[in-house]
């Protein structure tokens, strides 16, 4: 899918058309990123009326939450369509045309680069400000967002992403489950991100549901599939969770992949010419 971006501007003087580039949205039509510059926001505080500054601050924070966590901001966007698909160029084009006086989106522009965090940083530094790691980029501190950002664009041609499975797909699947990815070559390939810092009860539940899925797939296909668990090692002082992590890591039927080494999965997909399990 092609990558596009839109710059979000803050207007300082409507009459003189003075504006400052404040944030950057990037999407590949399926996944997206938005981040604004805290330094630039702080710099505008003395140039705007307090009411305008507070509105812009809340807008940027809520926009970041709406785009990056998929949770609609409450009461900030007023008449705008909360929860709109930010991967939709036509919606960004609409915002560029009908933005209010304080906030403006640029027309979405296609760019000939792959969608990735590293490329996002380069575009951000070109048009917005020096990239600061401590800023809040998509809450990449959650492993789920990290996997979606760094792995999904690399394997989307090989698999079905974020696919909900139930007994209509695999008759021995007891309860529905949303899987991160599923594909097939000679055997089925599937993967699930698991947060090993969750409470032990919820962690074990996530693992049990994934193992139930792998069993249902193997029964249908009558052969053993390749299954990946993506995650991060929990702190050793969290003994119970660390013990569960070690069991998964040492498992013979699950392949544990650290979220910082997702290129292993990309390499497997390319080497084995994995294709989507279900027709797209």
Instruction: Name the band, by pLDDT with cuts 50, 70 and 90, for residue 14.
Output: low
Residue 97: what are its φ and ψ, rounded to 5°?
-85, -35
Which pLDDT score, from 0 to 100, does residue 5 have? Answer: 95
Between the alpha carbon of residue 200 and those of residues 62, 79, 122, 212, 240, the distances in Å are 32, 42, 39, 18, 7
Residue 135 has pLDDT above 80, yes or no: no
As beta bridge partners, residue 4 has 27, 110
pLDDT, tens digit, for every residue of 187-226?
999 999 999 988 888 899 899 999 999 999 999 999 999 9
Domains in the chain (CATH in brackets) are 3-137 (no CATH), 143-276 (3.40.1350)
User: 3-class SS at 133?
Assistant: coil
User: 3-class SS at 165?
Assistant: strand
Position with higher pLDDT, 33 vs 226: 226
Which pLDDT score, from 0 to 100, does residue 15 have? Answer: 67
Which pLDDT score, from 0 to 100, does residue 65 have? Answer: 74
Instruction: Name the band, by pLDDT with cuts 50, 70 and 90, for residue 100.
Output: low
Which pLDDT score, from 0 to 100, does residue 140 have? Answer: 43
Q: Which residues contact 166 (CB under 8 A, 6 or more apart)?
A: 173, 175, 176, 177
Q: What is the pTM of this model?
A: 0.54
């Amino acid at each position: 899918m092609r990558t596009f971006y839109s710059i979000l501007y803050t207007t300082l003087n409507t009459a003189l058309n003075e504006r400052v580039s404040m944030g950057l949205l990037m999407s590949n039509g399926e996944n997206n990123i938005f981040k604004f510059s805290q330094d630039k926001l702080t710099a505008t505080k003395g140039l705007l009326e307090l009411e305008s500054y507070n509105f812009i601050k809340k807008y940027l924070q809520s926009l970041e939450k709406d785009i990056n966590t998929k949770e609609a901001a409450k009461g900030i966007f007023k008449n705008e369509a909360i929860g709109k698909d930010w991967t939709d160029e036509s919606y960004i084009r609409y915002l560029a045309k009908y933005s209010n006086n304080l906030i403006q989106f640029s027309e979405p522009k296609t760019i000939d680069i792959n969608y990735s965090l590293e490329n996002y940083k380069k575009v951000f530094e070109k048009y917005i400000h020096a990239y600061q790691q401590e800023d809040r980029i998509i809450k990449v501190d959650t492993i789920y967002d990290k996997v979606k950002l760094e792995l999904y664009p690399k394997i989307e041609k090989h698999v079905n992403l974020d696919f909900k499975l139930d007994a209509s797909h695999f008759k021995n699947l007891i309860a529905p489950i949303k899987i991160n990815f599923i594909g097939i070559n000679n055997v089925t390939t599937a993967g699930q991100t698991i947060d090993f810092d969750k409470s032990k009860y919820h962690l074990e539940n996530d693992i049990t549901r994934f193992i139930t899925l792998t069993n249902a797939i193997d029964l249908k296909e009558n052969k053993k599939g390749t299954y990946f668990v993506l995650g991060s090692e929990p702190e050793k002082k969290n003994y119970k969770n660390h013990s569960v992590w070690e069991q998964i890591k040492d498992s013979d039927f699950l392949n544990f992949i650290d979220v910082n080494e997702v290129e292993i999965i990309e390499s497997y997909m390319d080497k084995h010419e994995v294709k989507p399990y279900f027709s797209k």
